[in-house]
Amino acid sequence: MANILLGATGSVAAIRVPALFDALATRGHTVRIVATAAATHFFNPAVIGTSGQRDTQLVSLDADEWPVDGFTRGDPVLHIGLRDWADLFLIAPLDANTLAKLAVGLCDNALTCVWRAWDHAKPVALAPAMNTVMWLNPFTKKHLRALAADFGAAHLPGHFDEDMLIRQINERAVNLRIAAPISKLLACGDIGVGAMAEVDAVVECALGLLH
């Protein structure tokens, strides 16, 4: 069984984070969560585990990376500790803002610091979730192609639509898989593609990398 780091970002689909945690744990894996501040608008970290309050061994937030009492030389560095611990990094949901950060290497929170420090010899799975117009924005394909290139799938044609691009990434990228978003009634009231894939599909996409 594997150590799986579940990254959660600021999409409404973060309401599925507890279900993702449970689905992975039920399959026998050890799971920890690193969440952005925006993600916690949509799920309560206190519901992870049984203590009734946030278990810092299960859910890491930016406050754990940068505590108010400051840093002392020799203190553990959260994003490095999480990077070393995890066998697989699953970011679900992956919002548009964080996708952009990953593509260009920005690291301004604990989650993106883990990404910047990640060993590409270890697998990563991503489950994008955003409004349809945001998903179809040209930047989305640019950012996905940039990530694919980092994982060995360079020179993917720019004329591919989003579905074809994801299929090509999943076939050609080493240690990177993307759970394609689905079409449904979105939280904003629009109907279209952009919703995070169903929990079982996300889990199967991620666990396929372990085989």
Assess contact for 131 and 181: CB atoms under 8 A: no
- The yes-or-no answer on residue 113 being catalytic is no
Give the strand order in the sheet containing 59-60. 59-60, 30-35, 3-8, 88-94, 124-128, 176-178
Q: What is the DSSP string of the chain?
A: --EEEEEE-SSGGGGGHHHHHHHHHHTT-EEEEEE-TGGGGTS-GGGSSSSSS--TTTEE-HHHHS-TT---TTS--HHHHHHHH-SEEEEEEE-HHHHHHHHHT---SHHHHHHHH--TTS-EEEEE---HHHHTSHHHHHHHHHHHHHTT-----TT--HHHHHHHHHHH-SSEEE---EEEE-TTS-EEEEEPPPHHHHHHHHHGGG-
Question: Which is catalytic among the residues 107, 113, 188, 205?
Answer: 188
Q: Would you please indicate which residues are annotated as catalytic (active-site) residues?
A: 188
